[in-house]
């Protein structure tokens, strides 16, 4: 079934030219693409060169095999990627945008693990809610609960009633008006564990910072109509909702 957002779009107005003229235009675009690649390499190098912060605080997570520490989440590897998945204690289902992001993860896990990297999703919802939503989405990646822990608050993806009452909260390294942000937000954080067992926070990204991980977006960027959005990721639904009957309420991404 074609998504209503896509079917409602007007026909594109690109000019139609000869093959030779198209090649000339493509070569100009290629120069921009090469510039983008060089800039991406520069950004990646700067990211790897960031200073680190030692993690001295103890955190406890509820998992399918019992309580675990942040140290345990590494599963014996030296690097840990944490995806801050928007699923709060009183939510009945996970964020649409976070669900879209995590649809891209399972195929990458063997490659990450072989490269000494562990990946895990963390949400503040109790484990029972996480497991219910995981079952619905048919996912098998590691996903743990930080309920009762300061972890989400310390990494600026959860905001208390007091935070919100103050009028603004810290998200994506800037102050955001509290009425423009949810009580749970998304992001991704990176950690390193050395041979002595010390843990360091090396990187966190929020908002659109993890967009390149979503291969579907990168593919759409190369499709004739691109992302075909009316707002950021407005075309998204959970992967089990695309076959909803006509007239069903359209979903939007709570990540944006």
Q: What is the per-residue burial (b if ≥16 Cβ within 10 Å, else e) of 87-103?
A: bbeebeebbbbbbbbbb
Model confidence over 88-145: pLDDT tens digits?
Answer: 999 999 999 999 999 999 999 999 999 999 999 999 999 999 999 999 999 999 999 9
Rounded distance, CA 204 to CA 190, Å? 6
Q: How would you classify the pairing of strands 168-171 and 174-177?
A: antiparallel
**DSSP-derived secondary structure letter, 214:** -
Per DSSP, the three-state class of 216 is helix
Distances (CA, A) of 28 to 23, 41, 227, 248: 9, 21, 22, 43
Cα 71–77–83 angle (5° rounding)? 70
Model confidence over 217-234: pLDDT tens digits?
Answer: 999 999 998 988 888 888
* pLDDT given for residue 189 in this prediction: 98
Rounded distance, CA 4 to CA 252, Å? 13
Would the pTM count as exceeding 0.85? yes
Q: Which of 96, 112, 110, 99 is nearest to 139 (CA)?
A: 99
Per DSSP, the three-state class of 66 is strand
Once rounded to an integer, what is the mean pLDDT over residues 143-158? 96
Give the CB-side neighbour count of residue 199, counting CA atoms within 13 A. Answer: 20
Q: Which of 125, 116, 256 is nearest to 195 (CA)?
A: 116
């Amino acid at each position: 079934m074609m998504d209503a957002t896509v079917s409602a779009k007007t026909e594109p107005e690109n000019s139609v030219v000869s093959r030779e003229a198209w090649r000339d235009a493509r070569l100009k675009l290629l120069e921009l693409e090469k510039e983008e690649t060089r800039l991406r390499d520069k950004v990646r190098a700067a990211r790897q060169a960031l200073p680190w912060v030692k993690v001295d605080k103890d955190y406890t997570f509820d998992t399918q095999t019992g309580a675990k520490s942040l140290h345990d989440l590494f599963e014996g590897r030296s690097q840990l990627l944490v995806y801050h998945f928007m699923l709060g204690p009183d939510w009945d289902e996970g964020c649409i945008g976070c669900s879209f992001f995590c649809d891209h993860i399972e195929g990458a896990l063997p490659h990450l693990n072989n490269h000494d990297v562990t990946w895990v999703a963390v949400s503040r919802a109790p484990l029972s809610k996480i497991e219910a939503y995981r079952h619905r989405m048919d996912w098998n990646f590691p996903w743990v609960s930080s309920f009762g822990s300061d972890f989400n608050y310390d990494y600026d993806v959860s905001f208390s009633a007091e935070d919100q009452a103050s009028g603004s909260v810290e998200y994506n390294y800037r102050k955001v008006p509290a009425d423009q942000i949810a009580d749970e937000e998304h992001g991704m954080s990176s950690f390193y564990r050395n041979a002595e067992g010390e843990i360091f926070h090396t990187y966190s990204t929020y908002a659109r910072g993890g967009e390149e991980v979503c291969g579907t977006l990168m593919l759409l960027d190369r499709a004739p109509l691109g992302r075909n959005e009316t707002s950021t990721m407005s075309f998204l639904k959970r992967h089990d909702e695309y076959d909803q009957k006509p007239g069903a309420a359209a979903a939007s991404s709570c990540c944006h």
